[in-house]
């Protein structure tokens, strides 16, 4: 099996390179409005944002920032297939402007706009990112009533375009079965609180990249891709950054397209692509080992599992898992500038 991965260093507010209704799944983490590290990015898109921030008009700056993101969500809706899924990782922001401290609810603003486009909201996920920093308390410390709750989670909004996806043809049904996940993974992945994925401290050498990177773990994209797409699907990330969604798509045997407005990320992304083969194949081995550990514990505590996976010849919990087959990576080839081909095996 081969997959292709295209990186477009351009503005995702105009995805002219992608055909309408050609994408199966969108996963992204955009710049977070009202988080200071992103102020310059948004101000570059609209000078009125910089003006509002200088005037410390938080509500105006918040709305103007989201109006720039709205243009991307509109493009995403156009390129998604009917039944396609959009996953948006977004954190809310707390900030003091004009002497007033408040929360800016980014997740709610994005959700409301996406619903107006025609998306249907599905149950979302809270990504819990607990911190044990001794100075994490905000406000008046131990004194009421001016102390504030510390945000230790982000939202993963899950949206569907129109109706549920159908798998009608025999080959479509077969591919869906091959793309299955383990029963015990289903129980963990489809919880509405994710506590087992930690925030990524991205070690970037380039100072500008440090300022502009909001990287999240490959595990997060890998999980979402396996939850909401099948092998061979096309995954889109309109805010690619350090390339994490591309890496997750490669690791999962999916195709991908990524947009990134900042060309300074290019060298770093390509360096990560050189490492993805060893990382993926090790992760697949660990994933299979975790399943075997689960089987051993389950059979010791209860009874033998009733089904055998046809590809790995080990026990599984349900009939839906018997054709499960996890792709590994053989080779990553750069076909031409910003286009890569990956060969996979099972």
Angle at 18 between CA 260 and CA 219, to 5 degrees: 50
* Per-residue confidence (pLDDT) for residue 220, from 0 to 100: 95
Instruction: Compute the distance between CA of residue 124 and CA of residue 188 in angstroms, rounded to an integer.
Output: 14
Residue that the structure tokens 């300074």 belong to = 264
Check if the beta carbon of residue 30 is closer than 8 Å to that of residue 216: no
Q: Measured in whole angstroms, how far is the alpha carbon of residue 192 from the centre of its chain?
A: 15
Contact 284, 328 (CB under 8 A): yes
Three-state DSSP class for residue 146? coil
CATH 3.40.50.150 fits 2-285+325-345, yes or no: yes
Could you give the residue ranges of the DSSP H alpha helices within 2-57?
39-45, 47-54
What the block records as the tokens of 61 is: 């700056």
Torsion of CA 227, 229, 232, 236, to 10 degrees: -110
Judge whether 236 and 95 are in contact, CB under 8 Å: no
The H helix count followed by the E strand count for the chain is: 10, 16
- Surface-to-core class of residue 207, CB atoms within 10 Å of its CB (0-12 exposed, 13-18 middle, 19+ buried): exposed
pLDDT the model gives residue 214:
56
Q: What are phi and psi of 311, to 5 degrees?
A: -90, -35
Q: Which residue has the tokens 């390129």?
A: 79
Structural domain boundaries of the chain?
2-285+325-345
Report how far residue 38's alpha carbon sits from residue 1's, in angstroms, rounded to the nearest whole number.
39
Structure tokens given for 73: 């969500």
Q: Give dist(CA 338, CA 270) in Å, integer.
A: 9
Cβ-contact 249, 219 below 8 angstroms:
no
Q: What is the pLDDT of residue 133?
A: 63
First to last CA, the chain: 9
Q: State the Cα–Cα distance between residues 166 and 176, nearest whole angstrom.
A: 11
Tokens representing residue 334 in the block:
């750069």
Mean pLDDT (10-residue bins), the chain, 346 residues: 98 98 98 96 97 98 99 99 99 95 98 99 94 67 89 96 97 98 98 80 45 72 98 99 96 98 93 92 95 98 97 98 98 96 97
Q: Output b/e per residue, 310-341; b: 16+ Cβ within 10 A.
A: eebeebbbeebbebbebbbbeebeeeeebebe
Whether the full predicted model's pTM is greater than 0.85, yes or no, is yes
The per-residue pLDDT for 198 is 61
């Amino acid at each position: 099996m081969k997959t292709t991965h295209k990186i477009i260093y351009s503005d995702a507010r105009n995805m002219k390179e992608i055909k309408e209704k050609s994408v199966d799944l969108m996963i992204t983490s955009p710049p977070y409005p009202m988080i200071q590290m992103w102020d310059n990015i948004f101000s570059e898109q609209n000078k009125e944002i910089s003006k509002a921030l200088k005037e410390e008009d938080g509500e105006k700056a918040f709305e103007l920032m989201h109006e720039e993101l709205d243009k991307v969500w509109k493009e995403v809706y156009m390129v998604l297939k009917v039944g396609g899924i959009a996953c948006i990782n977004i954190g809310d922001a707390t900030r003091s402007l004009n002497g007033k401290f408040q929360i800016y609810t980014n997740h709610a603003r994005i959700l409301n706009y996406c619903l107006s486009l025609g998306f249907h909201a599905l149950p979302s996920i809270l990504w819990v990112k607990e911190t044990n920093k001794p100075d994490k308390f905000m406000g008046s410390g131990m004194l009421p009533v001016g102390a504030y709750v510390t945000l230790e989670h982000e939202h993963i909004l899950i949206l569907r375009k129109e109706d549920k996806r159908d798998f009608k043809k025999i080959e479509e049904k077969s591919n869906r079965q091959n793309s299955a996940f383990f029963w015990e993974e289903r129980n963990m992945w489809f919880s509405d609180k994710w506590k087992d994925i930690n925030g990524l401290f991205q070690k970037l050498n380039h100072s500008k990249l440090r300022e502009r990177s909001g990287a999240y773990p490959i595990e997060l994209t890998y999980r979402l891709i396996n939850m909401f797409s099948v092998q061979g699907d096309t995954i889109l990330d309109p805010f690619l950054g350090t390339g994490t969604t591309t890496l997750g798509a490669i690791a999962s045997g999916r195709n991908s397209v990524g947009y990134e407005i900042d060309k300074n990320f290019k060298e770093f992304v390509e360096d990560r692509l050189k490492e993805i083969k060893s990382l993926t194949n090790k992760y697949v081995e660990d994933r299979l080992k975790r399943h075997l550990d689960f089987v051993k514990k389950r059979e010791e505590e209860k009874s033998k599992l009733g089904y055998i996976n046809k590809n790995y010849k080990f026990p599984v919990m349900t009939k839906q898992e018997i054709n499960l087959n996890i792709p590994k990576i053989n080779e990553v080839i750069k076909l031409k500038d910003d286009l890569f081909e990956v060969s996979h095996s099972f």
